[in-house]
Structure formats: C-alpha cells, structure tokens
Chains A and B, each alone.
Chain A
C-alpha cells in the first residue's frame, strides 16, 4: 500500500492550460437529436463524427429500455481519427431526492473527466416525445452545471415527409413527423435529392407546424455544423432568437391543415402586461390544462409593466421560464409576442385570455 511508503510520491507536472477552445467555465452544450430510423439520424451523427471540424464531440447513444444503467459514449478524437469508446455508468437510476437526473450526472462526469469536450450529442432512438428529456436537461442556472441543453434537432426524410403529408391530406390525423417538428429548434430536411420539386412547400408545411424552427436542407446530412452546434436555444443568452421573435410578423401563411392538427399560433398584445398575471395565465394553460388545447411549446417576448427589460418566455410542456433578457433599445417598439405550438389550438381563447394579463 502506498501509505506505507516513506518517500512522498512524485509530484506530477500539470499540463499547460489549453490555449484555444472554450474556457473551462462555460458549460458544454448538449444537442438532442430526434427523428425516426431511416430519416438519416445516424447519417447525421456519422457525418458530425467524421467531418474535419476540429471539435471534440461526444456522442451518447441513448437506448432507453436497454441495459439499464449503461450508456455508451463515443468520443471523436478529431484529427487523429481514432475513436475511443467509453462506457459511462449511470448512477443506477436512483430517484431518491436528487435534483439532477442520473443522465445529467453521467454527462457531467463525462465532461469533467475527459480533456476538453466541445459538445455532446444525445441521440435518441425513435423517441416520440422529447419533452421528458428536455425537462431533465433543461437545468436551473442556479445549479451551475457543466452541461446545458443547447437545442433539439430533428432529421426529416424529405421524400417520406412528402408521402406522409399526402397520405394524411384528407384524414383527421396528422403525420408523425409533425410531432417531432413541433418540439424541434432545428429541422434538417434530408434526402432533398430524392424529392424532385416543391421543397418550398415542404418548408411551408414545417413552418405551419412550428413557425420558429430553422430548416436546413441537406443531402446525406452534410450540413454546416454551425447550424447544428451552439444554438443556445434554452436560457436567456440567445440574442439572435430574441431578434427573430421581435421581427416575427403575424402574417403566417394560411393554415394548410385541419383544425385538429399540430400548428403554430401567435398572440400579440401592445399594452404592457403584469408578470404575475402572465405566469398565472401560463400555468392555467400548461399546468392546470384548463382547455382542450394541448400546448407543446411557447416562445415569446414580453413588454412588462414598469420594466425597461425585454422579458423572454420559454416553455416546453409544463416546464417554463420567464427571464429578463436585455433592455429595450430606444428604437424598438415595445410589444408582447408569444408563439404557441400545439394541438387543437384556438387563437380566440389564447388571445382573449392573454389580454387579461394587461396591467
């Protein structure tokens, strides 16, 4: 046993600080990739791993329901091309009274043990509803975690999507892909080479479901990785998303589907609102579910009474956050704008109930 030695162990020289790359203080982004098999999800992952982007990416193949407690993490060494497969043992799913889910703890361990991971991809196997994963990964800032939820990306097979839309044209149901699109921040519209015409129509369908999603067209998922990483879709730091909301106009293309489909609506209100009333309004919709509407996501900006700060609103199912983002500039016209994505939405109910939030 080393404890019996007379001599102290040799002190080891610390490696010099890595000059480039993100500071060790900023949390590592986690991107959740959804999408059904065949859409090109694996192709996207493979492309990200093999492309010469100089980043160290950890890919977690998260097969819920398989060997409990074992996640396989594959880390791309970047230039060398050698892949190191690391097994990260989950904390045995103890619910107990811990704030952080064992998945979060495992990801934190990963970030803390390896040298400089730039980003984490969490690939989900055909997960229909990413909302539970979002609620696990969308951590409170107070926890100062070394990881943060960056965005949700879904891969849609353009050809298959076209077929699905045509199939459901005269039915009361909607394509499965709509559900994935509703929860995504980025949609990769893949295999566009297999669809001869009218990609604009496909994009319109996508934006009809989720007006704020970014659509990236691709062939074999060869995308500009800047559109994949560092989206900052959650948390108050995203200034470009704020810009998008400010510029988002209410003139959405006419609803192309039946009323009971998944769609996007936008609520606008000029007068300043009371923060307390907005929170109660949200909670009635998201927690108490006081209507037939099924709300998946909300994203908005608020003009709060007696405040010079633009407040941002972000919700994924029941989990929501309202935060001050930055000061209104002198030139910006102050207004409230909330984009709602969900099923069975009724603009009258939404607009009317929100108007009661006025100060």
Chain B
C-alpha cells in the first residue's frame, strides 16, 4: 500500500488533471462508413465554425473556464445543436459611484457562500421589502429596454450593452457581471441554450427565440427576472414552447402563499409541461434572493423533489422554469457557463422575483403598463 494518499509521492503515481469538459463518441460501424460520412459531417461543422470566425470583430475572443480565460480559436466540443459560441467583447465598466456586490472586483463572492442565509430562509423586514420592490422595478425596466431592441440582425452583445447601460443609468450594478467570473452583464440564451448563455458577436436570426436574464443590484439588494422573446417570425413549435413555459411560471405563481411547501412548485410545473409533451430541466432551480444573489431556499422545478421548507410571509425568492422541446438533460459548453439541451432542441424560460404576502404573493418583477407588447396571448 503506497503512502500516496497522505501526500507523499512515489514513482508509481500518475497525477492527471481532469478538466470538466465533456466529449462524446460518434459510433460508426466501419472505417469506410465513417469515411463516407466524414465529408458531409465535416462540411457542416466547418461551415458553422467558419461563421463564428467571420462574425467575430477584431480583438474579440472566445470565453473559457467560466470567464477566467479567453482563446482565439473556437473550442472543440461535440455541439448538441446548430448553435456555436462566438467571440465576446471586452468586459464592460461600471462607474465608481455605483454600489457594487463583493464579486465586482475579483470575481469571487465572499459573503454569499458562507452565509447563514444558505441554510435558513430569511423573513424580510418591511424596509428590506421596500428596497426589493424598488430594485425589482428597476430590473423590470432594464429588461423591457432590452426587449425593445430585439430583432433579426442584432447581436446578443448589443443586447448586453443595452442592459449594461440601462442598469448603470439607473444607479444599479448588473449582478451577473463578474459573478464567479461571468464576463457579461446579463445572460442571453438562444434556441437550444437552456440558461446562462454569454452575450457574444452572433447576430440574432429570423426564427430564433432568445431569453434575456437580467439581475440588478440596487440599494443593497438584487432583483432577478427573465423572459424569452421571439425574433422575427418563429415556427409554431417555438410559439407553443414559449407560451407553455410562460404558463408554467404563471401557474406556479398562482399557488404561492403562506403554508405552501416549496416542493409543490415542481409538481405544478411538471404537470403542465408534461401535458404539453414538453420536459422540465432539472439541473437548475429557483432560489432565494435579497441581499444575496442566490440563497435559500432551493426550489426545483421538477416533481417529486425533497425541497425543504414552507412558504412564509416576508420571504422573497425566484421561480424560473426551463422547459425543453426534447429531453430534459443538459450539457455544459467549454465556457463552463452555457447550458444547452443534450439533444440540441429548443428550450425556453421565464422568471420572476416573488414576495410571499400574508394572503398570497406579490410579483415584484411584474410587467408594467409600459412593458413592450411581445406576447400575443397577453393581448387584452
């Protein structure tokens, strides 16, 4: 028995650093069959890969390792769908006078990971609630501003620029910026991207769906919401997907009130999605929010979960179902942020920050009368 387990090295020990990349093998029956397929297979990949190189402006690079590094070459990956990452622009700057969360400088949250609020659900004071109302209103205004610029031909980087500028114009900090090194001020998730897409040089195309996820840090608290938008004319399946996802969130919010178990949220969402033949993403969940970006409770969106806790007045948390056309499984891109569907089919998401009241719920990030009219089913 070697002593390797206790720090000593011996010549028989091989140390290998295992990076968290995923690979997949494509199975061919013979070498000839593989050769025949290779030409067309390669041409599809080459075309898509070349596109990303063409559209990348001077000096922009691809994101790797959660944003800690960049590379000038498109990373290798067994892409699950047609989408590819494009290069990203330089990190945007936030003016000095704006109050920033503790990860703004070095990318590492310090208070959040060890906080007691990861283990118990905070009951907000009236003063905190008032701040949450204001911040969530700001976040809603910022998201609406982003929604107004969405059209074919615009890049997700451009959306990010709008989010960034609208946020700082209101005196807020865009919470995603440098959160665990995240390089941009919001998440833009196109088509098969489930969540945490990084804004880049890719132009939105007619027929795309795109989710924009905005979180604003203002007056010491965070407000978090997201919506999925149609780019130009989208197909019927995408319309159904987006509408069903909207309804999943709606129905989940409808049960929020004191005394309801957090785990019940997953039952409602799962029921509605399944009825429409769609699947629920299981790897990401709703979360408590307030002075921390992410804290207790964890609210899974799938059924039969063991989430701990019962809703009480004064709690604030998000519900953010991600619903897929195909399978529920997800994969992570080489940038270690972008989550995509394992089968490359489309995914949609909606999110609100909620406050449990004495009798029910207040949707802090609710649509305003001024919010853009982008959903046909919402017409009065």
Contacts and interface: CB of A to CB of B under 8 A. Distances in A.
A99 B298 contact: yes
Interface string A74-97: 100000001111111101111111
B276 interface: no
A96 to B, nearest CB: 6
A204 to B, nearest CB: 34
A287 B113 contact: no
Q: Is the interface of A mostly helix, strand, loop or mixed?
A: mixed
Interface band, chain B:
35 or more
B285 interface: yes
Contact of B308 (A45, A140, A318): A318
Contacts of B42: 3, 8
A321 B308 contact: no
Given A98-B285, A99-B298, A83 B18 contact: no
Interface in B60-115: 66, 73, 109, 112-113
Contact of A49 (B1, B28, B287): B1
Contacts of A1: 73
A83 B309 contact: no
Contact of A98 (B12, B28, B283): B283
A284 to B, nearest CB: 10
B12 to A, nearest CB: 6
B20 interface: yes
Interface in B302-323: 302-306, 308-310, 318, 320
A174 interface: no
A97 to B, nearest CB: 5
A85 B282 contact: no
Given A83-B2, A92-B66, A93-B113, A138 B16 contact: no
Interface in B278-336: 282-287, 294-295, 298, 300, 302-306, 308-310, 318, 320, 336
A43 B5 CA distance: 12
Contacts of A288: 310
B49 interface: yes
A140 B300 contact: yes
Interface string A124-142: 0000000000000010111
Interface stretch (B31-39, B132-140, B154-162, B249-257): B31-39
Given A142-B302, A142-B303, A85 B15 contact: yes
B306 A140 contact: yes
Contacts of B303: 142
Interface of B: 1-2, 4-6, 12-20, 25, 27-28, 30-31, 34-35, 38-39, 42, 45-46, 49, 66, 73, 109, 112-113, 118, 180, 261, 282-287, 294-295, 298, 300, 302-306, 308-310, 318, 320, 336
B1 A46 contact: yes
A282 to B, nearest CB: 11
Contacts of B295: 95
23 contacts: A3-B46, A8-B35, A8-B39, A10-B31, A14-B27, A46-B5, A50-B1, A72-B5, A74-B5, A84-B16, A85-B14, A94-B180, A95-B109, A95-B113, A96-B180, A100-B283, A105-B20, A140-B305, A283-B261, A287-B309, A288-B310, A319-B306, A321-B306
A83 B13 contact: yes
Contacts of B298: 99
A88 B17 CA distance: 7
Given A10-B31, A99-B282, A287-B310, A109 B13 contact: no
A59 to B, nearest CB: 7
Contacts of A3: 42, 45-46, 49
Closest 8 CB pairs of A and B: A8-B38, A11-B34, A318-B308, A50-B1, A94-B180, A97-B287, A140-B305, A85-B13
A61 B287 CA distance: 30
Contacts of A281: none
